[in-house]
Amino acid sequence: MESTAFWKDRKVCVTGGDGFLGRHLQRTLRSRGASDIFVPKIEDYDLTNLDDVKRMLADAEPNVIIHLAAAVGGIGINRERPADFFYQNLMMGVPLMHQAYEQGVDKFVAIGTICAYPKFTPVPFKEENLWDGYPEETNAPYGLAKKMLLVQAQSYRQQYGYNAIFLLPVNLYGPGDNFNLQTSHVIPALIRKFIDAKESGKNEVTLWGDGTPTREFLYVEDAARGICMAAESYNDSEPVNLGSGMEISIKDLAELIAKLVGFKGEFVWDTDKPNGQPRRALDVSRAKQYFDFTAQMGFEEGLRNTINWYLEHKDQID
């Protein structure tokens, strides 16, 4: 991967750097020339605590902050813990950006979520539609807490000239994803369910909803590259989608993953469970225009990589 001069002699702090995206981002940063990367451990710093935020910044002395840290999960846990997801995401982000501004951190890269988009956003989602309605109810507290970082970034740029940017990655997937069925997103959940069913000889798998919603997915290595490219060369107030530009229904996704893992049984759709947002796919033209980012990984190849990773590591996963 191309090395860039941007990271030379710059200290970068990656909150959430030990998470799924964070581990890939660390590797991508190093491949692009970053040598001084600080990842605050959750055991050492509670980023919802202002004193810990100040101590973390004093320890890291960063020139750039990439804020990935989030309390996040699928529809189930969003419904169970909406207050936690609102408070923790708001308090991990807003005080951190304020302290970064006050302490002279050169650039703040805020990672938002497409859960911030209105429930019935026209497809493909364009960044200018972000404020056209209320988000889908099951993940609105999380989405709105993250969206406040966009408001903060824009207002701090307007009033203080502070260089904060806001990126909106679509649903991520890839090797190292979260395969815990209580908290995972749809791709790792489907992979695990189908492989478990195949190995135990079950001839049917129960899936949430009715299969009609659509989703877009971005391979985690593409997302890491896009974040780095934005950090290096994008310096403006407009939010930017990071996606692949593809759209697939949950039903078609389930059929594809079942085929790839060799599960030949039936699907039972539990329509008492929520579907989530009806359609989700991004307009990705702004990322191409502003910092020349386009996704590179083919979807089926990316799924195969993810399935192979799970098969190699499933004995170590709860």
Cα–Cα distance for residue pair 231/105, rounded to 1 Å: 13
First-last CA distance in the chain: 34
Is 87 known to be catalytic? Answer: no
> 3-class DSSP state for residue 98?
helix
Bridge partners, residue 12, by sequence: 37, 64
Helix residue ranges, H only, 103-217: 140-160, 186-200
- Positions of E strands within the chain: 11-15, 36-38, 64-67, 107-111, 164-169, 171-173, 204-208, 214-215, 217-219, 240-242, 248-249, 266-270
**Longest Cα separation, the chain:** 62
Cα–Cα distance for residue pair 12/162, rounded to 1 Å: 17
Cα–Cα distance for residue pair 288/127, rounded to 1 Å: 13
Question: If you count DSSP H runs as helices and E runs as strands, how many of each does the chain have, helices first?
Answer: 10, 12
Contact 63, 12 (CB under 8 A): yes
Give the type of residue at 197: A
How many CB atoms are closer than 10 A to CB 307? Answer: 21
Cα–Cα distance for residue pair 90/53, rounded to 1 Å: 13
Q: Which residue has the tokens 């083919």?
A: 298
Give the type of residue at 272: D
Bridge partners, residue 107, by sequence: 64
How many CB atoms are closer than 10 A to CB 176? Answer: 17
Of 101, 142, 156, 310, the catalytic one is: 142
* Residues tagged active-site: 142
